[in-house]
Amino acid sequence: MAKRTIQTFLIFLRRKEILQENHLEKVKESYLEHFIFATKIGIKLFGYGLMSMLHGILPMFFPRYVSRKIIVLYNKLNIRNI
């Protein structure tokens, strides 16, 4: 029963594009290269999130900065054709 549950869960993850076994091959990166790239993106998003919260409290700070930076990140990721 547990094995079937795990298999069903893995199928669900694949369908939702949460699990992709050949992801490193698709992006043509080694594990380390991918780790560095993903970590940089994550740190930037975290920082932009903090700026966005500050903007929510004090709207005069970062009025368009965060949205522009997120568009740049989106384009950077989109170029990779994932």
Residue 52 clears pLDDT 90, i.e. is over it: yes
How far is 81 from 59, CA to CA, in rounded Å?
35
Extents of the domains making up the chain: 22-79
HSE-CB for 27 with a 13 A CA cutoff: 19
Provide the pLDDT for residue 1.
Answer: 60
Q: What is the mean pLDDT of residues 45-61?
A: 96
Q: Which residues contact 82 (CB under 8 A, 6 or more apart)?
A: 23, 26, 27
pTM, to two decimals: 0.73
What tens digit of pLDDT does each residue of 1-50 get? Answer: 677 888 888 888 878 778 888 888 888 999 999 999 999 999 999 999 99
> 28 in helix, strand or coil?
coil
- In contact, 14 and 20? CB cutoff 8 Å: yes
